[in-house]
Protein backbone atom coordinates (compact mmCIF):
# COMPACT_ATOMS: atom_id res chain seq x y z
CA UNK A 1 0.00 0.00 0.00
CA UNK A 2 1.40 3.42 -0.96
CA UNK A 3 2.28 5.90 1.73
CA UNK A 4 -0.17 8.78 2.13
CA UNK A 5 0.83 12.30 1.24
CA UNK A 6 1.56 14.52 4.21
CA UNK A 7 1.54 18.26 4.77
CA UNK A 8 3.52 19.71 7.67
CA UNK A 9 3.44 23.38 8.67
CA UNK A 10 6.97 24.40 9.66
CA UNK A 11 6.30 28.12 10.04
CA UNK A 12 3.60 30.81 10.16
CA UNK A 13 1.47 28.87 12.63
CA UNK A 14 -0.71 31.31 14.59
CA UNK A 15 1.31 34.21 13.15
CA UNK A 16 1.64 36.01 9.83
CA UNK A 17 5.35 35.62 9.04
CA UNK A 18 7.91 32.86 8.65
CA UNK A 19 5.95 30.81 6.11
CA UNK A 20 7.29 27.32 5.46
CA UNK A 21 5.36 24.16 4.47
CA UNK A 22 6.68 20.68 3.73
CA UNK A 23 4.71 18.53 1.27
CA UNK A 24 5.83 14.91 1.44
CA UNK A 25 4.43 12.45 -1.10
CA UNK A 26 5.29 8.87 -2.07
CA UNK A 27 8.48 9.80 -3.92
CA UNK A 28 8.95 13.57 -3.68
CA UNK A 29 9.46 16.06 -0.86
CA UNK A 30 8.93 19.73 -1.67
CA UNK A 31 9.36 22.70 0.64
CA UNK A 32 7.02 25.59 -0.15
CA UNK A 33 8.57 28.86 1.04
CA UNK A 34 11.23 29.45 3.66
CA UNK A 35 10.54 32.86 5.16
CA UNK A 36 11.79 35.06 7.96
CA UNK A 37 9.84 35.48 11.18
CA UNK A 38 9.28 39.21 11.69
CA UNK A 39 7.83 41.60 14.20
CA UNK A 40 7.50 39.12 17.03
CA UNK A 41 9.46 38.44 20.20
CA UNK A 42 12.63 36.44 19.61
CA UNK A 43 12.11 36.45 15.84
CA UNK A 44 15.86 36.86 15.37
CA UNK A 45 16.63 33.83 17.53
CA UNK A 46 14.01 31.71 15.78
CA UNK A 47 15.41 32.66 12.38
CA UNK A 48 18.82 31.27 13.28
CA UNK A 49 17.72 27.66 12.80
CA UNK A 50 16.25 25.98 9.76
CA UNK A 51 13.09 23.91 10.21
CA UNK A 52 13.66 20.41 11.53
CA UNK A 53 13.76 18.44 8.28
CA UNK A 54 16.34 16.12 6.74
CA UNK A 55 17.66 18.13 3.79
CA UNK A 56 19.19 15.00 2.29
CA UNK A 57 15.70 13.92 1.24
CA UNK A 58 14.43 17.32 0.07
CA UNK A 59 13.88 17.24 -3.69
CA UNK A 60 12.86 20.82 -4.46
CA UNK A 61 11.73 24.18 -3.13
CA UNK A 62 8.85 26.23 -4.50
CA UNK A 63 8.57 29.95 -3.70
CA UNK A 64 5.17 31.63 -3.74
CA UNK A 65 6.47 35.21 -3.87
CA UNK A 66 9.32 37.57 -3.05
CA UNK A 67 8.29 38.96 0.35
CA UNK A 68 10.98 38.10 2.91
CA UNK A 69 8.49 36.42 5.24
CA UNK A 70 8.18 33.81 2.48
CA UNK A 71 11.67 33.77 0.96
CA UNK A 72 14.04 35.42 3.45
CA UNK A 73 15.72 32.25 4.78
CA UNK A 74 16.27 30.54 1.43
CA UNK A 75 20.04 31.29 1.29
CA UNK A 76 20.45 29.44 4.60
CA UNK A 77 20.01 26.20 2.65
CA UNK A 78 23.40 26.73 1.00
CA UNK A 79 25.75 26.31 4.00
CA UNK A 80 23.72 23.25 5.02
CA UNK A 81 24.77 21.64 1.76
CA UNK A 82 21.44 21.55 -0.05
CA UNK A 83 21.50 21.93 -3.82
CA UNK A 84 18.36 21.53 -5.87
CA UNK A 85 15.81 23.36 -8.01
CA UNK A 86 14.03 26.39 -6.56
CA UNK A 87 10.87 26.93 -8.60
CA UNK A 88 9.08 30.28 -8.85
CA UNK A 89 7.39 32.54 -11.37
CA UNK A 90 9.50 34.58 -13.78
CA UNK A 91 8.70 37.95 -12.12
CA UNK A 92 9.42 36.42 -8.70
CA UNK A 93 12.84 35.30 -9.95
CA UNK A 94 13.64 38.90 -10.99
CA UNK A 95 12.46 40.20 -7.63
CA UNK A 96 14.42 37.58 -5.66
CA UNK A 97 17.58 38.79 -7.42
CA UNK A 98 16.79 42.17 -5.87
CA UNK A 99 15.31 41.23 -2.49
CA UNK A 100 17.75 38.57 -1.27
CA UNK A 101 20.94 40.64 -1.77
CA UNK A 102 19.17 43.52 -0.02
CA UNK A 103 18.31 41.21 2.87
CA UNK A 104 21.95 40.18 3.21
CA UNK A 105 23.07 43.83 3.21
CA UNK A 106 20.45 44.76 5.80
CA UNK A 107 21.64 42.04 8.17
CA UNK A 108 25.23 43.32 7.96
CA UNK A 109 24.05 46.91 8.44
CA UNK A 110 21.97 46.04 11.49
CA UNK A 111 24.92 44.24 13.09
CA UNK A 112 27.23 47.19 12.38
CA UNK A 113 24.72 49.62 13.89
CA UNK A 114 24.31 47.43 16.99
CA UNK A 115 28.09 47.25 17.42
CA UNK A 116 28.53 51.02 17.03
CA UNK A 117 25.78 51.78 19.53
CA UNK A 118 27.20 49.30 22.04
CA UNK A 119 30.70 50.81 21.71
CA UNK A 120 29.25 54.27 22.36
CA UNK A 121 27.50 53.08 25.50
CA UNK A 122 24.01 53.37 24.02
CA UNK A 123 21.54 50.81 25.30
CA UNK A 124 21.09 47.91 22.89
CA UNK A 125 19.55 44.42 23.12
CA UNK A 126 21.79 41.90 24.84
CA UNK A 127 22.11 39.71 21.76
CA UNK A 128 23.43 41.20 18.52
CA UNK A 129 21.14 40.95 15.49
CA UNK A 130 21.88 37.76 13.58
CA UNK A 131 23.64 37.60 10.23
CA UNK A 132 22.00 34.57 8.65
CA UNK A 133 23.91 34.62 5.37
CA UNK A 134 26.05 36.77 3.11
CA UNK A 135 26.30 37.51 -0.59
CA UNK A 136 28.06 34.22 -1.48
CA UNK A 137 25.14 32.23 -0.08
CA UNK A 138 22.70 34.49 -1.91
CA UNK A 139 24.56 34.04 -5.20
CA UNK A 140 24.55 30.25 -4.80
CA UNK A 141 20.82 30.24 -4.06
CA UNK A 142 20.01 32.49 -7.02
CA UNK A 143 21.87 30.06 -9.28
CA UNK A 144 19.32 27.40 -8.25
CA UNK A 145 16.28 29.41 -9.44
CA UNK A 146 14.12 27.72 -12.06
CA UNK A 147 11.57 30.30 -13.30
CA UNK A 148 8.30 28.87 -14.61
CA UNK A 149 5.97 30.52 -17.10
CA UNK A 150 2.25 30.65 -16.20
CA UNK A 151 1.49 27.70 -18.52
CA UNK A 152 4.60 25.70 -17.62
CA UNK A 153 5.07 22.84 -15.16
CA UNK A 154 8.09 21.01 -13.80
CA UNK A 155 8.47 17.41 -12.68
CA UNK A 156 10.06 16.11 -9.51
CA UNK A 157 9.78 12.34 -9.42
CA UNK A 158 6.13 11.61 -10.16
CA UNK A 159 5.09 15.02 -8.82
CA UNK A 160 4.26 17.88 -11.17
CA UNK A 161 4.73 21.44 -9.93
CA UNK A 162 2.74 24.31 -11.43
CA UNK A 163 1.91 27.90 -10.53
CA UNK A 164 -1.16 30.09 -10.81
CA UNK A 165 -1.70 33.76 -10.00
CA UNK A 166 -2.35 34.58 -6.34
CA UNK A 167 -2.64 38.36 -6.80
CA UNK A 168 -1.02 40.06 -3.77
CA UNK A 169 2.19 41.33 -5.46
CA UNK A 170 3.89 41.02 -8.83
CA UNK A 171 4.61 37.39 -9.59
CA UNK A 172 2.88 36.00 -6.50
CA UNK A 173 1.67 32.47 -7.10
CA UNK A 174 -0.22 29.60 -5.59
CA UNK A 175 1.72 26.36 -5.92
CA UNK A 176 -0.13 23.38 -7.40
CA UNK A 177 1.45 20.00 -6.59
CA UNK A 178 0.09 17.04 -8.57
CA UNK A 179 0.89 13.37 -7.98
CA UNK A 180 -0.76 10.39 -9.69
CA UNK A 181 -3.23 10.16 -6.80
CA UNK A 182 -3.31 13.52 -5.03
CA UNK A 183 -3.41 17.25 -5.75
CA UNK A 184 -2.27 19.66 -3.05
CA UNK A 185 -2.45 23.45 -3.45
CA UNK A 186 -0.49 25.95 -1.35
CA UNK A 187 -2.19 29.31 -1.69
CA UNK A 188 0.67 31.63 -0.76
CA UNK A 189 -0.62 35.07 0.13
CA UNK A 190 -3.87 35.84 -1.70
CA UNK A 191 -4.52 39.36 -2.88
CA UNK A 192 -7.64 41.45 -3.05
CA UNK A 193 -9.74 41.55 -6.18
CA UNK A 194 -9.74 44.75 -8.26
CA UNK A 195 -6.53 46.03 -6.69
CA UNK A 196 -4.40 47.28 -9.60
CA UNK A 197 -1.63 47.17 -10.59
CA UNK A 198 -1.79 43.54 -9.39
CA UNK A 199 -4.17 41.06 -11.06
CA UNK A 200 -6.92 39.16 -9.30
CA UNK A 201 -6.06 35.79 -7.75
CA UNK A 202 -7.06 32.72 -9.75
CA UNK A 203 -9.56 30.55 -7.82
CA UNK A 204 -8.24 27.42 -6.19
CA UNK A 205 -8.48 24.49 -8.63
CA UNK A 206 -10.17 21.21 -7.66
CA UNK A 207 -7.84 19.44 -5.25
CA UNK A 208 -7.60 17.07 -2.31
CA UNK A 209 -6.02 19.54 0.10
CA UNK A 210 -5.25 23.23 0.19
CA UNK A 211 -2.84 25.00 2.53
CA UNK A 212 -4.39 28.44 2.78
CA UNK A 213 -3.34 31.69 4.35
CA UNK A 214 -5.77 33.35 6.76
CA UNK A 215 -4.16 36.73 7.50
CA UNK A 216 -7.52 38.52 7.56
CA UNK A 217 -9.36 35.57 9.14
CA UNK A 218 -13.11 35.79 8.64
CA UNK A 219 -13.11 39.60 8.77
CA UNK A 220 -14.88 41.62 6.12
CA UNK A 221 -12.87 44.55 4.77
CA UNK A 222 -14.74 47.65 5.86
CA UNK A 223 -13.49 49.53 2.82
CA UNK A 224 -15.21 52.89 2.99
CA UNK A 225 -13.95 54.16 -0.36
CA UNK A 226 -12.01 53.09 -3.42
CA UNK A 227 -8.24 53.77 -3.49
CA UNK A 228 -8.07 56.80 -5.79
CA UNK A 229 -10.95 58.55 -4.05
CA UNK A 230 -9.62 57.78 -0.58
CA UNK A 231 -6.09 58.86 -1.36
CA UNK A 232 -7.23 62.04 -3.07
CA UNK A 233 -9.28 62.98 0.01
CA UNK A 234 -6.31 62.29 2.30
CA UNK A 235 -4.08 64.55 0.19
CA UNK A 236 -6.69 67.31 0.30
CA UNK A 237 -6.82 67.15 4.10
CA UNK A 238 -3.04 67.18 4.30
CA UNK A 239 -2.81 70.16 1.99
CA UNK A 240 -5.08 72.13 4.30
CA UNK A 241 -2.77 71.34 7.22
CA UNK A 242 0.18 72.55 5.18
CA UNK A 243 2.68 69.86 6.13
CA UNK A 244 3.98 66.69 4.46
CA UNK A 245 2.37 63.28 4.30
CA UNK A 246 4.68 60.63 5.75
CA UNK A 247 3.77 57.16 4.49
CA UNK A 248 5.47 53.99 5.82
CA UNK A 249 5.76 51.71 2.82
CA UNK A 250 7.02 48.29 1.85
CA UNK A 251 9.39 48.15 -1.10
CA UNK A 252 7.27 45.54 -2.79
CA UNK A 253 3.49 45.56 -2.84
CA UNK A 254 1.93 48.47 -1.02
CA UNK A 255 4.29 51.00 -2.59
CA UNK A 256 3.21 50.01 -6.09
CA UNK A 257 -0.49 50.07 -5.16
CA UNK A 258 -0.19 53.61 -3.86
CA UNK A 259 1.95 54.75 -6.81
CA UNK A 260 -0.64 53.43 -9.25
CA UNK A 261 -3.38 55.40 -7.48
CA UNK A 262 -1.18 58.50 -7.38
CA UNK A 263 -0.50 58.10 -11.10
CA UNK A 264 -4.22 58.17 -11.80
CA UNK A 265 -4.68 61.26 -9.62
CA UNK A 266 -1.76 62.96 -11.37
CA UNK A 267 -3.20 62.02 -14.76
CA UNK A 268 -6.36 63.90 -13.84
CA UNK A 269 -4.33 66.97 -12.93
CA UNK A 270 -5.39 66.62 -9.29
CA UNK A 271 -2.08 65.84 -7.55
CA UNK A 272 -1.40 68.93 -5.40
CA UNK A 273 2.11 68.03 -4.24
CA UNK A 274 5.32 66.27 -5.19
CA UNK A 275 5.90 62.63 -4.25
CA UNK A 276 9.24 61.36 -2.93
CA UNK A 277 9.89 57.62 -2.90
CA UNK A 278 12.66 57.32 -0.32
CA UNK A 279 13.83 53.78 -0.96
CA UNK A 280 16.37 52.60 -3.51
CA UNK A 281 14.98 49.09 -3.14
CA UNK A 282 11.41 50.24 -3.78
CA UNK A 283 12.55 52.24 -6.81
CA UNK A 284 14.21 49.19 -8.33
CA UNK A 285 11.27 46.93 -7.49
CA UNK A 286 8.90 49.45 -9.08
CA UNK A 287 10.97 49.47 -12.28
CA UNK A 288 10.68 45.67 -12.55
CA UNK A 289 6.89 45.98 -12.85
CA UNK A 290 7.26 47.61 -16.26
CA UNK A 291 9.14 44.52 -17.49
CA UNK A 292 6.21 42.19 -16.83
CA UNK A 293 3.01 43.74 -18.26
CA UNK A 294 1.39 40.29 -18.53
CA UNK A 295 1.74 39.98 -14.75
CA UNK A 296 -0.25 43.15 -14.08
CA UNK A 297 -3.92 44.00 -13.79
CA UNK A 298 -5.51 44.90 -17.13
CA UNK A 299 -5.89 48.52 -15.99
CA UNK A 300 -2.11 48.76 -15.55
CA UNK A 301 -0.86 46.51 -18.34
CA UNK A 302 -2.16 48.17 -21.48
CA UNK A 303 -1.19 51.41 -23.16
CA UNK A 304 1.40 52.49 -20.59
CA UNK A 305 5.17 52.37 -21.07
CA UNK A 306 5.61 52.65 -17.32
CA UNK A 307 2.42 52.05 -15.32
CA UNK A 308 3.86 53.46 -12.09
CA UNK A 309 5.57 56.68 -13.18
CA UNK A 310 4.12 60.19 -13.35
CA UNK A 311 5.25 63.82 -13.36
CA UNK A 312 6.02 64.96 -9.84
CA UNK A 313 7.43 61.59 -8.69
CA UNK A 314 11.03 61.66 -7.48
CA UNK A 315 12.92 58.45 -6.74
CA UNK A 316 15.52 58.89 -3.97
CA UNK A 317 18.21 56.26 -4.45
CA UNK A 318 20.81 57.29 -1.85
CA UNK A 319 21.05 58.30 1.80
CA UNK A 320 22.34 61.72 0.73
CA UNK A 321 19.27 62.30 -1.44
CA UNK A 322 17.07 61.10 1.40
CA UNK A 323 18.54 63.59 3.86
CA UNK A 324 18.02 66.48 1.46
CA UNK A 325 14.28 66.34 2.06
CA UNK A 326 14.60 66.59 5.86
CA UNK A 327 14.18 70.35 5.59
CA UNK A 328 11.26 70.07 3.21
CA UNK A 329 8.69 72.82 3.63
CA UNK A 330 5.06 72.68 2.59
CA UNK A 331 2.91 69.78 1.42
CA UNK A 332 4.58 66.72 -0.09
CA UNK A 333 4.25 62.95 0.06
CA UNK A 334 7.22 61.04 1.48
CA UNK A 335 6.95 57.28 1.01
CA UNK A 336 9.70 55.43 2.87
CA UNK A 337 10.51 51.97 4.17
CA UNK A 338 10.21 50.01 6.35
CA UNK A 339 6.48 49.53 6.22
CA UNK A 340 6.20 48.41 9.84
CA UNK A 341 8.68 51.01 11.11
CA UNK A 342 11.25 48.42 12.15
CA UNK A 343 14.12 50.17 10.38
CA UNK A 344 15.02 52.16 7.31
CA UNK A 345 14.56 55.85 6.43
CA UNK A 346 10.98 55.93 7.70
CA UNK A 347 12.34 56.10 11.25
CA UNK A 348 14.15 59.36 10.53
CA UNK A 349 11.10 60.86 8.83
CA UNK A 350 8.80 59.83 11.68
CA UNK A 351 11.18 61.23 14.30
CA UNK A 352 11.29 64.48 12.33
CA UNK A 353 7.58 64.91 11.65
CA UNK A 354 5.59 63.15 14.39
CA UNK A 355 5.93 66.17 16.72
CA UNK A 356 4.64 68.54 14.00
CA UNK A 357 0.87 69.19 14.12
CA UNK A 358 0.92 70.21 10.44
CA UNK A 359 2.17 66.78 9.33
CA UNK A 360 0.10 63.75 8.39
CA UNK A 361 1.13 60.16 9.00
CA UNK A 362 -0.70 58.01 6.43
CA UNK A 363 -1.12 54.33 7.31
CA UNK A 364 -2.27 52.54 4.18
CA UNK A 365 -2.54 48.86 5.04
CA UNK A 366 -2.07 46.13 7.62
CA UNK A 367 -0.20 47.42 10.69
CA UNK A 368 1.38 44.50 12.52
CA UNK A 369 0.71 44.61 16.28
CA UNK A 370 3.85 45.10 18.32
CA UNK A 371 5.62 47.16 15.66
CA UNK A 372 6.08 50.94 15.64
CA UNK A 373 3.51 51.38 12.87
CA UNK A 374 1.12 49.05 14.69
CA UNK A 375 1.47 51.31 17.75
CA UNK A 376 0.93 54.45 15.65
CA UNK A 377 -2.38 53.03 14.44
CA UNK A 378 -3.71 53.56 18.00
CA UNK A 379 -2.76 57.28 17.83
CA UNK A 380 -0.61 57.22 20.99
CA UNK A 381 0.61 60.35 22.82
CA UNK A 382 4.23 59.34 22.14
CA UNK A 383 6.38 56.56 20.70
CA UNK A 384 9.95 55.41 21.18
CA UNK A 385 12.29 55.63 18.20
CA UNK A 386 15.85 54.38 18.73
CA UNK A 387 15.14 54.45 22.46
CA UNK A 388 14.14 58.13 22.46
CA UNK A 389 10.70 59.50 23.25
CA UNK A 390 9.01 61.20 20.31
CA UNK A 391 5.76 63.02 21.02
CA UNK A 392 2.93 62.49 18.54
CA UNK A 393 1.24 65.71 17.46
CA UNK A 394 0.92 64.86 13.76
CA UNK A 395 -2.43 63.62 12.46
CA UNK A 396 -2.61 59.85 12.10
CA UNK A 397 -4.72 59.19 9.00
CA UNK A 398 -5.63 55.56 8.34
CA UNK A 399 -6.75 54.52 4.86
CA UNK A 400 -8.70 51.27 4.62
CA UNK A 401 -8.65 51.12 0.81
CA UNK A 402 -5.18 49.63 0.32
CA UNK A 403 -3.89 46.25 1.35
CA UNK A 404 -2.41 43.11 -0.07
CA UNK A 405 -4.54 40.38 1.52
CA UNK A 406 -7.96 39.02 0.65
CA UNK A 407 -10.57 39.31 3.40
CA UNK A 408 -12.64 36.49 4.89
CA UNK A 409 -15.40 36.30 2.26
CA UNK A 410 -12.83 36.47 -0.55
CA UNK A 411 -10.74 33.71 1.05
CA UNK A 412 -13.84 31.55 1.47
CA UNK A 413 -14.89 32.13 -2.12
CA UNK A 414 -11.37 31.38 -3.39
CA UNK A 415 -11.28 28.03 -1.60
CA UNK A 416 -14.83 26.84 -2.17
CA UNK A 417 -15.51 27.86 -5.78
CA UNK A 418 -13.95 24.64 -7.13
CA UNK A 419 -12.40 22.91 -4.11
CA UNK A 420 -15.25 22.70 -1.62
CA UNK A 421 -14.51 19.03 -0.90
CA UNK A 422 -10.82 19.60 -0.17
CA UNK A 423 -9.25 19.45 3.28
CA UNK A 424 -8.35 23.06 4.09
CA UNK A 425 -5.26 23.53 6.23
CA UNK A 426 -5.07 27.05 7.63
CA UNK A 427 -1.79 28.86 8.27
CA UNK A 428 -0.24 32.33 8.05
CA UNK A 429 -2.69 33.97 10.42
CA UNK A 430 -2.91 34.92 14.08
CA UNK A 431 -4.71 32.37 16.26
CA UNK A 432 -7.88 34.45 16.40
CA UNK A 433 -7.91 34.92 12.62
CA UNK A 434 -7.29 31.23 12.10
CA UNK A 435 -10.24 30.29 14.32
CA UNK A 436 -12.49 32.90 12.73
CA UNK A 437 -11.91 31.73 9.16
CA UNK A 438 -12.19 28.10 10.24
CA UNK A 439 -15.67 28.82 11.59
CA UNK A 440 -16.73 30.49 8.32
CA UNK A 441 -15.43 27.59 6.24
CA UNK A 442 -16.98 24.95 8.49
CA UNK A 443 -20.32 26.74 8.17
CA UNK A 444 -19.97 26.12 4.41
CA UNK A 445 -19.47 22.41 5.08
CA UNK A 446 -15.70 22.44 4.57
CA UNK A 447 -13.27 20.15 6.36
CA UNK A 448 -10.78 22.42 8.13
CA UNK A 449 -7.52 21.61 9.92
CA UNK A 450 -5.52 23.87 12.22
CA UNK A 451 -2.45 21.75 12.98
CA UNK A 452 0.21 22.77 15.46
CA UNK A 453 3.72 23.60 14.33
CA UNK A 454 5.37 20.42 13.06
CA UNK A 455 2.28 18.19 13.26
CA UNK A 456 1.79 16.36 9.94
CA UNK A 457 -1.62 16.17 8.26
CA UNK A 458 -2.18 13.07 6.15
CA UNK A 459 -4.02 13.55 2.89
**Digit-coded pLDDT (tens) for 361-383:** 999 877 877 889 999 999 999 99
Residue 1 has pLDDT above 50, yes or no: no
Q: What is the mean pLDDT of residues 184-206?
A: 94
Alpha-carbon distance 29 to 7, whole Å?
10
| pLDDT at residue 384, rounded to an integer | 92
Q: What is the mean pLDDT of residues 337-348?
A: 87
Alpha-carbon distance 429 to 45, whole Å?
21
Residue 255 has pLDDT above 50, yes or no: yes
DSSP state of 56: G
Whether 30 and 10 have beta carbons less than 8 Å apart is answered as no
Which of these ranges, 49-63, 320-334, 386-400, has the smallest mean pLDDT?
320-334
| pLDDT at residue 138, rounded to an integer | 98
Counting beta carbons within 10 angstroms of the beta carbon of residue 63, is it exposed (0 to 12), middle (13 to 18) or buried (19 or more)?
buried
DSSP state of 405: S
Q: Which CATH architecture has domain 6-219+404-458?
A: 4-Layer Sandwich (3.60)
Residues of the chain above pLDDT 90, percent: 73
Cα→Cα distances 60→25, 156, 171, 295, 337, Å: 12, 7, 19, 24, 32
| pLDDT at residue 331, rounded to an integer | 92
Domain residue ranges of the chain, discontinuous segments joined by +: 6-219+404-458, 227-398
Widest CA span in the chain: 73
Alpha-carbon distance 163 to 205, whole Å?
11
For residue range 139-160, list pLDDT tens digits in order. 999 999 999 999 999 999 999 9
**Strand ordering across the sheet containing 173-178:** 153-156, 159-165, 173-178, 183-186, 209-213, 423-427, 447-449
Between 302 and 117, residue with greater pLDDT: 117
Residue 303 has pLDDT above 70, yes or no: no
pTM of the model: 0.92
Q: What is the mean pLDDT of residues 273-290?
A: 93
The set of residues, in sequence order, having a beta carbon less than 8 Å from that of 426 and lying 6+ positions away, is 212, 213, 214, 434, 437, 438, 448, 449, 450
Cα→Cα distances 409→172, 218, 254, 379, Å: 20, 7, 21, 29
SS3 135: helix
| pLDDT at residue 301, rounded to an integer | 65
Residue 266 has pLDDT above 80, yes or no: yes
Asked if the 227-398 domain carries CATH number 3.40.50.10890, the reply is yes
Residue 199 has pLDDT above 50, yes or no: yes
Amino acid sequence: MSRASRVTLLGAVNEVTGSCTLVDTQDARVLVDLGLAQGVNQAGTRNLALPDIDLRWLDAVAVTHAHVDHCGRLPMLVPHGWRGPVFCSEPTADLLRLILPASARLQRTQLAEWTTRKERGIEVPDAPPPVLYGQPEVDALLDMLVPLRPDETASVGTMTIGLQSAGHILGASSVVLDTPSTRIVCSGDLGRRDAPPIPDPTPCPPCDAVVMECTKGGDVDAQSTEPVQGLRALLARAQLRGGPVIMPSFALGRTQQVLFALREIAGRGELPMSVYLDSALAARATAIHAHWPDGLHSEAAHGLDDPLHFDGLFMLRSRRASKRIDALGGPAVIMAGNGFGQGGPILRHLARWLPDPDATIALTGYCMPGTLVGHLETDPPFVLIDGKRVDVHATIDVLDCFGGHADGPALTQWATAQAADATIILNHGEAESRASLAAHLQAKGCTVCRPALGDPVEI
